[in-house]
Chains A and B, each alone.
Chain A
């Protein structure tokens, strides 16, 4: 990060006793967040874990989840970074409205997003109708539909994160590059992009994990078919009705993946903040 001009060094803690009014709720909050994870571990059928883990159903769902979440992140990067740049670096009428609209999927229940996607991309949807007529293909019930649902709910996280990084960046480097004759594209590619890379990475991680956990929009828009559209969260939900034990195993896999991501990227997070 560029040097801050604030006079007091941030991060130097005040000394003295921690007020109980802060400590008690903090510990309660911590316990509330962590206890369910232990509950999951406590109910895990360890003796049959191996057999359940390597069943083809779990493998299919996991591979599909990893592949679709990664594809959704790539799509979000390709579309979301330019969108964030547009919001942070240009002036146009209605910009604040555009930003507000971009954040709508953040607060919208995902299942509503699924319904909305169907209304647009479904076989009788506003655009899906023509897509089906001209190409014979549609997004619903396909892995591409899963990716579409994930992009819809996850891309705003990336856009917000990248836009924040762009706004926090020291503009003088861009100005210097422009003074030296670089056009806006060159400035973006050679100066802006490298400087906000940590923000983009953080956004991509957030986007990927949100996509990995996507449930509501996916089941509504892409349906449920093992190996094609049944991602891990769908498998967890459906197994819960058939065999809660299997659902716990699936949940454990998702938990392990999440923890792994956190551990691998911890340095980046700490470096960025």
Chain B
């Protein structure tokens, strides 16, 4: 059948392309090394920028990232996902990884983050404070409470004494941000850095209660890293004061 032949041809192409990098690796030249970094979703933009710089400084190195909610990454690590470095959006999740997987060195805090209310640029619900999030008919996206931004949101809302019933609990902060970007909700509680990352797509509103939950971002080399030296170099790069400006520009606070 023609269809069957098509399928075979497509499979052959896919298998072929999947094999290509391996074939290249065996050729002569600088040794190819891959650093695998598991990082909180909120670090996406900063780490991508740094990843490109780091790869330039270390020829032959490819930096691969997995960005997701910190707790999803912690669970994957506990299940044996191969990674060299873990950067979490809070201390609690890092503590879990230290206990479940083990780290080579004490985790180092390299950044901090606070929450802001993100609203679409035209702010359809006229949100100005945390109290407005509890208003009837206001649609709000919050992070699920088991991810760091969700735990921070809970702390901030409790501190303000505001009870918000969201329309959805998102599994990481970027998913909550996306709801605002698409205009599907009137507001979401996200990190200040996420509002910066979204550029003009969302508008950030400062909340005084945010001081109740300032997240620390620890980074650590994992105990069974396949590339421990490269992993150390990466954490040194991330924690270097020379690179702090990138964090500052991205809306993070410095430790």
Contacts and interface: CB of A to CB of B under 8 A. Distances in A.
A122 interface: yes
A123 B138 CA distance: 13
A161 B184 CA distance: 35
Interface string B142-160: 0010110000000000000
A242 B71 contact: yes
B75 A224 contact: no
B169 to A, nearest CB: 5
Contacts of A225: 166-169
Of A123, A229, A237, A242, most B-chain CB atoms within 10 Å: A123
Given A225-B167, A241-B69, A244-B75, A124 B184 contact: yes
A124 B183 contact: yes
Contacts of B74: 241
Contact of B75 (A122, A219, A223, A240): A240
A224 B169 contact: yes
B170 A223 contact: yes
Interface of A, secondary structure class, is loop
A232 to B, nearest CB: 16
Given A224-B169, A224-B170, A242-B71, A122 B184 contact: yes
Given A122-B182, A241-B71, A241-B75, A141 B168 contact: yes
A124 B146 contact: no
B183 A122 contact: yes
B134 to A, nearest CB: 16
Contact of A224 (B71, B171, B183, B184): B171
A140 B184 contact: yes
Interface residues of B, number: 20
Interface size class of A (residues with CB under 8 A): 10 to 19
Given A118-B182, A124-B184, A140-B184, A242 B169 contact: no
A242 B141 CA distance: 20
A185 B169 CA distance: 47
B108 interface: no
Contact of B72 (A123, A224, A241): A241
A240 B141 CA distance: 21
Given A241-B71, A244-B75, A223 B168 contact: yes
A238 interface: yes
B139 interface: yes
B125 to A, nearest CB: 12
A118 B69 contact: no
Contact of B141 (A123, A219, A223, A226): A223
Given A223-B170, A223-B179, 12 more contacts: A122-B183, A140-B184, A141-B167, A219-B171, A224-B144, A224-B171, A225-B168, A238-B146, A241-B69, A241-B71, A242-B146, A244-B75
26 contacts: A118-B184, A122-B182, A122-B183, A123-B182, A123-B183, A123-B184, A124-B182, A141-B167, A141-B168, A141-B184, A219-B171, A223-B169, A224-B168, A224-B169, A224-B170, A224-B171, A225-B169, A226-B169, A238-B144, A240-B75, A241-B69, A241-B72, A241-B75, A241-B146, A241-B171, A242-B146
